[in-house]
């Protein structure tokens, strides 16, 4: 299928189901690949109208607006997107948005520390990922330095969220964790969700993380940017890779 056919296919899907955020997101991607950046931006912005928590869409809308020469409008979208990504803990879109703001010479918005975290000093365990008080895990979730880092930095509540989302990802992408590439996909998702960077992973283990196939990492980043909302794919996401 060529670019023009893809665009028409996604346009038709948007018309049939205007409340489908992924249809607008996919249309934006197809238009951007075709160099139609102004139209791509409008598709991404429609995606945001449908799903205001879709932080990746803010990033790509801003990028498209920059390409279209609309820097002021791009800055406005990116600043909103940065706040959404920061509030949700969407680390990859937040980083991408910050880089785009710096690219056009705009300041990255300051993040407000959560009230409970700012207060500190009361003995509460503050989750590094969420910035909120939580329950410290009684023991590491698994052996090794990474498990210890998780116990020291991530609340039980946050890690339980990952277990629930990770299970969805396993089912949606038909992962077999006995296979090294599939296990690397799951591990990539976990590290991105809890905010364990590749640099910290290497310090902890002395090794780089096992690379996951690029087509899967893009899907994982998209899932995380949508706050784990993947039910609408109805078990068909695995067909995209």
pLDDT of 122: 45
pLDDT of 148: 92
CATH 1.25.40.10 domain range(s) in the chain: 3-103
Q: In sequence order, what DSSP letters do the residues of 98-121 get, joined into one string?
A: HHHHHHTT-PPPPPPPPHHHHH--
Q: Is-contact 80 58, C-beta < 8 A?
A: yes
What is the four-CA torsion angle of 230, 232, 236, 241, rounded to 10 degrees? Answer: -40
pTM: 0.58
116-240: CATH architecture: Orthogonal Bundle (1.10)
DSSP state of 17: -
pLDDT of 91: 76
pLDDT of 146: 92
pLDDT of 172: 80
CATH 1.10.3880.10 domain range(s) in the chain: 116-240
Q: Does domain 3-103 have CATH number 3.40.1260.10?
A: no
Q: What is the mean pLDDT of each run of 10 residues along the chain (241 residues)?
A: 82 87 86 94 92 88 96 96 84 88 93 48 73 88 90 92 86 84 91 92 92 86 67 44 47
pLDDT of 227: 55
Q: Is-contact 86 80, C-beta < 8 A?
A: no
Rounded-to-integer distance, Cα 75 and Cα 81, Å: 10
């Amino acid at each position: 299928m060529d670019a023009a056919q893809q665009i028409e296919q996604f346009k038709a899907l948007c018309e049939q189901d205007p409340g489908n955020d992924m249809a607008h997101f996919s249309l934006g991607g197809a238009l951007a690949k075709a160099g139609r950046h102004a139209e791509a931006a409008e598709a991404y912005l429609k995606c945001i109208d449908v799903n205001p928590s879709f932080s990746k869409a803010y990033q790509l809308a801003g990028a498209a607006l920059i390409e279209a020469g609309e820097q002021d409008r791009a800055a406005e979208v990116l600043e909103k997107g940065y706040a959404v990504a920061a509030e949700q803990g969407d680390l990859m879109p937040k980083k991408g948005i910050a880089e785009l703001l710096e690219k056009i010479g705009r300041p990255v918005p300051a993040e407000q520390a959560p009230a409970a975290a700012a207060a500190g000093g009361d003995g509460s365990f503050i989750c590094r990922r969420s910035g909120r008080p939580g329950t410290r895990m009684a023991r590491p979730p698994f052996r090794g330095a990474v498990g210890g880092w998780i116990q020291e930095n991530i609340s039980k509540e946050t890690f339980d969220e990952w277990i629930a989302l990770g299970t969805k990802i396993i089912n949606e992408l038909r992962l077999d964790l006995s296979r090294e590439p599939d296990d690397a996909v799951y591990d990539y998702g976990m590290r991105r969700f809890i905010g364990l960077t590749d640099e910290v992973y290497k310090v902890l283990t002395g090794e780089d993380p096992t690379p996951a196939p690029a087509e899967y990492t893009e899907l994982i980043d998209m899932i995380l940017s949508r706050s784990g909302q993947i039910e609408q794919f109805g078990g068909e996401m695995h067909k995209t890779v």
